[in-house]
């Protein structure tokens, strides 16, 4: 489709394996139809779950990395607050030599510090990009913690929020990039995309890939 990135959500299983499950609030129905936390299940248990009528199974991050290597970049959103998740994730990315093909994001902003610790433990010399996810003013990251190379991944609900606009400007002054992600609360269209470009957004996480590809083709046709 000519898209730049794929975005996925990762969790750490009970036996410290990184699994990919999107938009589930950390809970799934086990093989017996009982609701359970992903973090309280082993990979073996998670692999018994059928996700749909096609009997698709929950993939591990290891499987996804092998699928995406040298094909598309990945925005890996770290879910939950398990302290070992950054280390286990970086270890896998390093294993497949994909450090230049991924970046990390999370609503749990403390993961940025844990990523830095994991970088030291794994002797990684390459700089790793971290994006602070937030959807409201209470989740705003501390401007003093932002470093060049970081990114703000903000909800489309904040596009016209004046306090958010002030934060965006402060972040840009520190060479921090801006990214907007869309849920289903804001209608995606050319007008909203243009407004995002006007405030300096460099990337958009979309639910309407054909709409944004059409917009990009038109806006950058020259």
CA distance 108 to 106: 5
First to last CA, the chain: 21
Antiparallel, parallel or unpaired: β 18-20 and 5-12: antiparallel
Residue 222: pLDDT band with limits 50, 70, 90: low
Phi and psi for 48 in degrees, rounded to 5?
Answer: -85, -5
Q: What is the pTM of this model?
A: 0.92
Which pLDDT belongs to residue 88? 98
Q: pLDDT tens digit string along 29-62? A: 777 778 889 999 999 999 988 776 777 789 999 9
CATH architecture of 63-219: Alpha-Beta Barrel (3.20)
Q: What is the pLDDT of residue 33?
A: 77
In the chain, domain spans: 63-219
Q: Place 184 in a pLDDT band, splitting at 50, 70 and 90.
A: confident
Q: Dihedral angle at the C-alpha atoms of 163, 144, 136, 139, nearest 10 degrees? A: -160
CB-based contact 139:131 (threshold 8 Å): no
């Amino acid at each position: 489709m000519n898209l730049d990135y794929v975005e996925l959500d990762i969790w750490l299983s009970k036996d410290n394996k990184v699994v990919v499950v999107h938009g589930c609030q950390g809970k799934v129905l086990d093989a017996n139809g009982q609701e359970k936390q992903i973090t309280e299940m082993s990979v073996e248990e998670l692999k018994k779950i059928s996700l749909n009528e096609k009997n698709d199974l929950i993939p591990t991050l290891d499987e996804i990395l092998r699928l995406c290597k040298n094909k598309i970049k990945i925005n890996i959103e770290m879910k939950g607050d398990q302290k070992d998740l950054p280390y286990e994730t970086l270890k896998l990315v390093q294993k497949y030599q994909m450090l230049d093909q991924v970046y990390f994001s999370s609503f749990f902003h403390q993961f940025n510090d844990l990523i830095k610790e994991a970088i030291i433990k794994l002797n990684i010399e390459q700089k790793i990009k971290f994006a602070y996810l937030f959807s409201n003013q209470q989740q705003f990251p501390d401007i003093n913690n932002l470093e060049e190379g970081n990114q703000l991944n903000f909800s489309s609900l904040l596009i016209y929020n004046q306090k958010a606009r002030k934060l965006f400007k402060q972040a840009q002054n520190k060479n921090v990039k801006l990214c907007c992600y869309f849920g289903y609360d804001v209608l995606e269209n050319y007008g909203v995309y243009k407004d995002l470009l006007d405030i300096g957004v460099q990337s958009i996480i979309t639910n309407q890939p054909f709409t944004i590809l059409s917009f990009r083709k038109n806006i950058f046709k020259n």
